[in-house]
Amino acid sequence: MPAIRTWQLATGAATVGLALAAGAVAAAGPWESGQRLAEREWAAAQRPEGTDQRVPGRKRPAPAPSAPAVLAGLGAAPATAPADAKPAGPGAGLAKLIKDPGLGPLRTASVVEVATGRTLYAREAGKAMPPASTIKIATAVAALTALGPDHRIPTTVVAAGRRITLVGGGDASLDRAALRALADRTARALRARGADSVRLAYDTSLHRGNPLHPIGMNGNLAPVVALMVDEGREDPDSTGYGARSDDPAGDAARLFAKLLGERGVQITASPAPGRPAPGSRPLAVVRSAPLSALVERMLTDSDNDLAEALARQTARASGEEMSFAGAGRAVREQLARLKMPLAGSRFADGSGLNRKDRVSAGLLTALLTRAASPDHPGLRPVLTGLPVAGFSGTLRDRYPGSSPGAGLVRAKTGTLTGVNSLSGTVVASDGRLLAFAFLAGDTPSRDAAQSALDRLAASLVS
């Protein structure tokens, strides 16, 4: 999609002008890192996607296209838990639309004015329900709170004598370009030491517990291990659902051994799992893109592997075990630090694939409102990473051009059998930024539920 399409649509909206956007950007403070920098560069130059200068040939995540006035609510007051309230503002229209039979018998909603935190509409907003992938909003906020937007995840090679160990740091974004860069650096370091043959081990001990998600082997998610390349995909060029390896760490180590061999380093035995030998010292390292970019990619593409990786990074920063259970405790702990409304919440995973997850519509709008607060600029990637209706990510094929929500609704989708959700922001016709969350359970069909959710969000534009 040409970037100019979203830019033209956004700037053409009569009630959402560039002056408003400029004021919002100024209120946001310095664009010092992550998506804020990328958005500024994109808006100024509309450059095509570039490459990561840290790793030659590695693609840098493209900035999510952003309607300028999506940042209009950045002067938001601290979020409070929306309580059930008599419909006001959009209430009458939403009360009718939320009765759509496509949403099934279980439905909750919350709509909040971002700049003030004022509840505009609530329907059982405090009731916790399975959120599907909208739980990634909570994962994103927790990770950014614990680690900051500039955090990068390392993958390291350490050496002791003629033994080297590839140490997984939990970077689910590690791809072949980064692994080639690591092989280049490792080969150079070994040549400097006069070593042309080594034994190779690989260490995945950073993560704990069962690496398999409760759904088992599944094309939606590889085993959650500390070392993988291309998310354990059998087809490294695939996206979304796709066949996954049952041994992503071993595959990554074997590929690394092959790359070292191509660079003149002989591997004397097949790579074997194991921790670094005593006295090992760092030899080479590559690091992921900043956490701000990883969060955006996770939200835009609904990337389950990244979500689970970031939940575990949150666990490590919080002093918790890097397992499903430890990550759940850590996410809750970080959200509690922000004084989020957590009654009834459960974080059984970071991706939303687990049906035991529970969050409320009120929690989701509180998280979005907090991400817009000038007191928390490090959370801004939560907003800028949301898919744009009709243009990007999981909303690319929803909201046709004739929909009033196209280009103005930005939202995280959630889809499991019988569970559908949508949560994000929308620029209303008067320029206000609204945060919304709609959760539906026991839905009769995915398509009917998605259409009903899209109509709810689009109705907020007016």
Report the C-alpha gap between 168 and 212 in whole angstroms: 17
Residue showing tokens 């909201």: 399
The question of whether 451 is a catalytic residue gets the answer: no
And the tokens for 288? 């992921």
The full length of the chain comes to 462
**Catalytic residue chosen out of the listed positions 302, 323, 351, 421:** 302
And the tokens for 129? 């329900």
SS3 268: coil
In terms of Cβ atoms closer than 10 Å to its own Cβ (0-12, 13-18, 19+), residue 431 is middle
Q: For the residues of 366-423, what is the DSSP string, one character each?
A: HHHHHHT-TT-GGGTHHHHTSPBTTTSGGGTTSS-TTSTTTTTEEEEEEEETTEEEEE
Report the C-alpha gap between 155 and 174 in whole angstroms: 8
And the tokens for 260? 């070292």
The question of whether 356 is a catalytic residue gets the answer: no
Question: How many degrees, rounded to 5, is the angle at CA 321 between CA 315 and CA 322?
Answer: 60
118 strand-pairing partners = 113
Buried b (16+ CB within 10 A) or exposed e, 178-214: bbbbbbbebbebbeeeebeebbbbbbbebbbeebbbe
Looking at residue 276, what DSSP letter applies?
A: P
**Residue 339 C-alpha from the chain's centroid:** 21
| Strand ranges across the sheet with 433-441 | 118-123, 106-113, 433-441, 419-427, 409-416
Report the C-alpha gap between 457 and 435 in whole angstroms: 10
Q: Which residues contact 322 (CB under 8 A, 6 or more apart)?
A: 170, 206, 207, 208, 226, 312, 315, 316
Report the C-alpha gap between 133 and 423 in whole angstroms: 10
**Catalytic residue chosen out of the listed positions 33, 66, 110, 136:** 136
Q: For the residues of 97-154, what is the DSSP string, one character each?
A: HTT-GGG-SEEEEEEEETTTTEEEEEESTT-EE--GGGGHHHHHHHHHHHH-TT---E
The question of whether 136 is a catalytic residue gets the answer: yes
**Catalytic residue chosen out of the listed positions 33, 66, 133, 173:** 133
10: left (phi over 0), alpha (psi -120 to 50) or beta: alpha
And the tokens for 80? 């409070």
Cα torsion 373, 375, 376, 377 to 10°: value is 90
Which residues are annotated as catalytic?
133, 136, 302
